[in-house]
């Protein structure tokens, strides 16, 4: 049952809320980004810091976003305008919209790669290739012009199509079907990977912490990854929160989504690292890890054709349930603040994101010589959004809840105006007032080199 003010689209059921929100959280961040970032940052020790950030910072930030959005019933910019009239807090909203542009651009470029790999799986394109050949295949594809761009545009089109259909009939309808399937497939793939000879080494890499590998930049990477993976820090969950019915439990929704997201990231690690080690591949091999390693495994295992196809379809699906959540941030903003129709807002945002996104898709091709601070365009957007904009956004979001909105309003929203027991309130307030802001600020300043402890 949903209780919602008239005239605004919303999620229609509890499962719909979880599917949509977990759909946003679970994506390329879990299956593509987590394994290679963990791989580049020492594996097990990274995982522990990551888990700590999810629990101590991620969940409270997520609850803060939910309560802001559901309280205000607006897009990310409008929420701050409404809750803090005449104050500059709306700048957080603008930063969120900017982050949405950047994330959607580079993220959809990778999502486009999954379409190429679905196609390659379909034509049995990996069969008989060794890991070097698969590496070359990926590098050549990614360095091309037409294919990365066309796949990018196709993926943007799919995203726009769902968003145009609305919240209940678009976002909710598709995520409710797609998310359960994703889980089943990942479990199957993990089991397969675990039964490969030499799998133990991969598990040891993932689960045995070696703290000598931890540096300040590793800690920032873990924080950035936690924010990125949970879709927090830019208002995705403020926007989705504004579609959640007034009788849903925001605290338990946040915990369920964070757990599901973490479980999927770890499962992805379990599906990938044993295989990486079993086939003697470098765990820190960057953005190509999933696109080189997995085809290698698939083409050697029984039923590989089938699993490969399924895996890349599911990678695409995971990406799609996330890209829609990012596009929705921009579309909701355009609709509510600029007064556009949903259709026009979707076209406008899709077009403008595509300009940036095409540059990302060409970052290894014709634009490979563009070098900004040591990054190509893709790398720059990837790093800036996850490691800078999301933590900063998260910082301001908790500061807003703790020091502007205040205890009463936060409690009213989290407890559904007193209908639910919220015994966690003192802990929540302590975290959003002190722990999260201080931790985010320290990690952030250290990570970007502005502070040396």
For the bound state, the minimum distance from the C-beta of residue 97 to ligand PHE, rounded and expressed in Å, comes to 12
Query: Rounded to the nearest 10 degrees, what angle do helices 304-338 and 14-25 cross at?
Result: 110
By CB under 6 A, how many residues form the interface with ligand PHE?
Answer: 15
Position 28 contacts ligand PHE (CB under 6 A): yes
Among 18, 20, 25, 440, binds ligand PHE (CB under 6 A): 25
The residue nearest ligand PHE at its CB is 29
For the bound state, the minimum distance from the C-beta of residue 106 to ligand PHE, rounded and expressed in Å, comes to 11
- Candidate ranges 89-97, 117-125, 230-238, 357-365; the one touching ligand PHE (CB under 6 A): 230-238
For the bound state, the minimum distance from the C-beta of residue 325 to ligand PHE, rounded and expressed in Å, comes to 5
Rounded Cα distance between 381 and 362, Å, is 13
Output 25 or 281, the one with its CB closest to ligand PHE: 25
- Candidate ranges 127-135, 227-235, 267-275, 405-413; the one touching ligand PHE (CB under 6 A): 227-235
Position 21 contacts ligand PHE (CB under 6 A): no
Position 326 contacts ligand PHE (CB under 6 A): yes
Max Cα-Cα span within the chain = 64
- Candidate ranges 19-27, 87-95, 192-200, 392-400; the one touching ligand PHE (CB under 6 A): 19-27
Among 45, 72, 76, 103, binds ligand PHE (CB under 6 A): 103
Position 75 contacts ligand PHE (CB under 6 A): no
Among 21, 30, 190, 376, binds ligand PHE (CB under 6 A): 30
For the bound state, the minimum distance from the C-beta of residue 236 to ligand PHE, rounded and expressed in Å, comes to 4
Position 364 contacts ligand PHE (CB under 6 A): no
Output 131 or 352, the one with its CB closest to ligand PHE: 352
Q: Pattern of binders to ligand PHE over 236-265, x per CB under 6 A?
A: x-----------------------------
Contact footprint for ligand PHE (CB under 6 A)? 24-25, 27-30, 103, 228-229, 231, 234, 236, 322, 325-326
């Amino acid at each position: 049952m949903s209780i919602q003010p008239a005239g605004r689209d919303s999620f229609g059921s509890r499962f719909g809320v979880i599917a949509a929100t977990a759909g946003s959280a679970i994506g390329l961040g879990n299956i593509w980004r987590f394994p290679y970032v963990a791989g580049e940052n020492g594996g097990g020790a990274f995982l522990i810091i990551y888990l700590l950030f999810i629990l101590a910072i991620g969940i409270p930030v997520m609850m803060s976003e939910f309560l802001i959005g559901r309280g205000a019933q607006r897009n990310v910019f409008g929420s701050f305008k409404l809750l803090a009239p005449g104050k500059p807090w709306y700048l957080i909203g603008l930063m969120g919209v900017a982050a949405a542009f950047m994330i959607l651009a580079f993220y959809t470029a990778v999502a486009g790669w999954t379409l190429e790999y679905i196609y390659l799986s379909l034509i049995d394109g990996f069969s008989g290739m060794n890991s070097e050949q698969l590496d070359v295949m990926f590098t050549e594809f990614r360095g091309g012009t037409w294919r990365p761009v066309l796949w990018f545009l196709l993926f943007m089109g799919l995203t726009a199509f769902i968003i145009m259909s609305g919240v209940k009939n678009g976002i909710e309808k598709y995520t409710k079907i797609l998310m359960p399937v994703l889980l089943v497939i990942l479990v199957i793939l993990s089991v397969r990977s675990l039964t490969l000879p030499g799998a133990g080494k991969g598990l040891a890499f993932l689960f045995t912490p070696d703290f000598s590998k931890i540096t300040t930049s590793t800690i920032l990477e873990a924080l950035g990854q936690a924010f990125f993976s949970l879709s927090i820090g830019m208002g995705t969950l403020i926007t989705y929160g504004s579609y959640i019915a007034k009788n849903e439990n925001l605290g338990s929704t946040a915990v369920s989504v964070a757990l599901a997201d973490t479980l999927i990231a770890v499962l992805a690690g379990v599906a990938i690292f044993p295989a990486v080690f079993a086939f003697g591949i470098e765990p820190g091999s960057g953005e190509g890890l999933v696109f080189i390693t997995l085809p290698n495994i698939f083409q050697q295992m029984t039923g590989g054709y089938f699993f490969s196809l399924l895996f890349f379809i599911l990678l695409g699906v995971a990406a799609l349930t996330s890209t829609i959540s990012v596009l929705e941030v921009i579309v909701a903003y355009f609709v509510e603040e600029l007064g556009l129709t949903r259709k026009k807002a979707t076209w406008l945002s899709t077009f403008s994101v595509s300009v940036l996104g095409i540059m990302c898709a060409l970052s290894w091709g014709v634009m490979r010589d563009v070098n900004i601070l040591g990054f190509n365009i893709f790398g720059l957007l990837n790093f800036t959004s996850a490691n800078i904009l999301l933590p900063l956004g998260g910082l301001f979001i908790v500061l807003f809840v703790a020091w502007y909105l205040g205890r009463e309003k936060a409690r009213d929203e989290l407890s559904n105006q007193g209908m639910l027991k919220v015994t966690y309130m003192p802990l929540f307030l302590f975290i959003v007032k002190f722990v999260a802001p201080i931790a985010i600020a320290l990690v952030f300043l250290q990570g970007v080199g502005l502070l040396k402890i």
